[in-house]
């Protein structure tokens, strides 16, 4: 048999358990005998979490069938984790919020994020507490607009000129190399001074030469966007030379700029053919604004709903606020909550606010919250969860769990230790299951 932990009673759960009968059938403590064909490829430990998985399926069934962006609070809880994975399998873009019980485990946040394909993502509860940041994130995922504007050729050129003038002032060609003066100052003992001077030439050879004088007015007049584009292509040529091992020629960017101002060059045919640039990944041209093909973020679609996994901290905070009638009383109620309870309320409120703004339903799973609809698992939801848990021939599943199993059949005291681990403050992110 396999048992989940009843956190309220602090003992092994008899309802969230599964056992093999003498006839070989699989009997669940809550749902009775399970169909043999439905559990043939499902680990026994997973079946102990069937109720939580069915809650996730029930929550997902309550939101719109239209594909879009789904928000999930408690994305690492057993029911929220199921909702995230089932939503992904149905083509939704998911924005998950890992509550504070597990957000302190950086790896768990990354695991949840890795299970959500782009444009969806997962963030820690602490991120969702900042409502503006979370709203911008949801908007970016749902619309595909990352808020990044295309660069402007004039802006790129002005930044380059400013940096070049600062470089020419910092490292003039009157210095033996483009290196800080402190590097050439002798700070050793007098007996080593001659050796220091003798090695200085070899030491400075590793640095580029200083910059020739740069006149700001001439730079503004003669160094145009076209010349800047030509200047950039010389770096491509230099890169090829470095890769091939040919470093025999002199290469100094400030001197190249000076030569281009004295004798302007014309763009080659390859540079004029701007249509060729999208074929070059991780490269850009300052004279044509575009993002390389295939780098655009896909839109997740409109927000279709929010699923809230009711955690103990969130339940306590929501009930305390709901009992208060006036705004002052609500503020006082929040003031007397623990930091963890207040943070849970703030993060969940951000999720709820985004769903309400989109006119989408807010569904709670694993408990009730005042003013929100609760999804209770039906037989269809149980079948959906069983189907998602089944391991396919290629070894994949729609629904995975991070399980920590305690084999109490070998060592009976493991059952008590498992209960202790599951009920301690900030229990780990794995779902604890006891087998006998």
| Residue 246 reports pLDDT greater than 90 | no
pLDDT of residue 274: 47
Category of 80 on φ-ψ map: left (φ > 0), alpha (ψ -120 to 50) or beta: alpha
**Is the Cβ–Cβ distance between 296 and 144 less than 8 Å?**
yes
First to last CA, the chain: 5
Share of the chain above pLDDT 90, in %: 40
Record the pTM: 0.71
pLDDT of residue 345: 94
What is the gyration radius of the CA atoms in the chain, in angstroms?
Answer: 32
Over residues 389-411, the mean pLDDT reads 86
What is the tens place of the pLDDT at every residue in 337-372? 999 999 999 999 999 999 999 999 999 999 999 999
| Residue 63 reports pLDDT greater than 80 | yes
- Window from 221-230, 251-260, 292-301, 354-363 with minimum mean pLDDT: 292-301
The residues, ordered by sequence, that sit 6+ positions from 389 with a Cβ below 8 Å of its Cβ are: 42, 43, 46, 47, 50, 53, 397, 398, 399
280-286 — which CB contacts under 8 Å span 24+ positions? 284/151, 285/229, 286/151, 286/153, 286/156, 286/157, 286/225, 286/228, 286/229, 286/232
**Is the Cβ–Cβ distance between 137 and 121 less than 8 Å?**
yes
What is the tens place of the pLDDT at every residue in 153-164? 788 888 889 999
Per-residue confidence band for 133, with pLDDT thresholds at 50, 70 and 90: very high
| Residue 268 reports pLDDT greater than 80 | no
Closest CA to 72 of 47, 91, 98: 98
Over residues 2-20, the mean pLDDT reads 90
Average pLDDT, the chain: 85
Over residues 384-405, the mean pLDDT reads 87
What is the tens place of the pLDDT at every residue in 274-331? 444 444 445 556 666 555 556 667 888 999 999 999 999 999 999 999 998 898 998 9
What is the tens place of the pLDDT at every residue in 380-393? 999 999 999 888 87
pLDDT of residue 270: 47
Over residues 95-114, the mean pLDDT reads 89
What is the tens place of the pLDDT at every residue in 165-209? 999 998 888 887 888 777 777 777 777 777 777 777 777 777 888
Q: How many CB atoms lie within 10 A of CB 76?
A: 27
Query: What is the spatial distance between Cα 166 and Cα 157, in angstroms, rounded to a whole number?
Result: 14
**Is the Cβ–Cβ distance between 55 and 29 less than 8 Å?**
no
pLDDT of residue 429: 83
């Amino acid at each position: 048999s396999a048992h989940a932990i009843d956190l309220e009673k602090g003992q092994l759960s008899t309802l969230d358990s599964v056992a093999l009968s003498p006839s070989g059938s699989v009997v669940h403590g809550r749902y009775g005998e399970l169909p043999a064909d439905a559990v043939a490829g499902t680990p026994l430990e997973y079946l102990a979490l069937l109720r939580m998985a069915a809650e996730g399926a029930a929550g997902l069934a309550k939101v719109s069938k239209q594909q879009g962006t789904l928000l999930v609070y408690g994305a690492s809880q057993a029911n929220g984790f199921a909702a995230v994975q089932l939503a992904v399998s149905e083509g939704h873009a998911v924005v998950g919020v890992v509550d504070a019980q597990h957000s302190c485990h950086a790896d768990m946040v990354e695991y949840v994020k890795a299970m959500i394909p782009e444009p969806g993502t997962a963030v820690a509860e602490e991120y969702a507490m900042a409502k503006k940041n979370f709203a911008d994130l949801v908007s970016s995922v749902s619309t595909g607009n990352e808020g990044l504007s295309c660069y402007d050729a004039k802006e790129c050129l002005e930044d380059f000129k400013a940096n070049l003038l600062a470089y020419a002032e910092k490292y003039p060609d009157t210095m033996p190399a483009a290196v800080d003066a402190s590097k050439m100052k002798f700070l050793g003992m007098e007996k080593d001074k001659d050796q220091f001077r003798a090695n200085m030439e070899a030491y400075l050879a590793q640095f580029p030469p200083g910059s020739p004088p740069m006149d700001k007015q001439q730079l503004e007049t003669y160094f145009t966007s076209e010349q800047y584009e030509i200047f950039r292509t010389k770096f491509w040529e230099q890169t090829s030379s470095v890769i091939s091992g040919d470093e025999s020629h002199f290469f100094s960017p400030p001197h190249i700029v000076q030569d281009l101002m004295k004798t302007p060059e014309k763009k080659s045919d390859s540079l004029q053919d701007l249509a060729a640039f999208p074929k070059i990944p991780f490269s850009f041209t300052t004279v044509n604004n575009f993002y390389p093909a295939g780098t655009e973020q896909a839109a997740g679609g409109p927000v279709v709903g929010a699923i809230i996994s009711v955690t103990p901290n969130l339940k306590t905070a929501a009930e305390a606020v709901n009992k208060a009638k006036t705004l002052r009383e609500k503020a006082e109620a929040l003031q007397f909550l623990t930091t963890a309870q207040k943070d849970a309320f703030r993060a969940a409120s951000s999720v709820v606010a985004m769903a309400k703004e989109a006119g989408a339903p807010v569904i709670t799973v694993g408990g009730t919250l005042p003013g929100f609809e609760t999804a209770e698992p039906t037989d269809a939801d149980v079948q959906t969860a069983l189907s998602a848990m089944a391991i396919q021939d290629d070894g994949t599943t729609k629904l995975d769990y991070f399980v920590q199993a305690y084999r109490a059949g070998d060592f009976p005291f493991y059952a008590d230790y498992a209960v202790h681990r599951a009920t301690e403050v900030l229990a780990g992110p794995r779902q604890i299951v006891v087998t006998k």
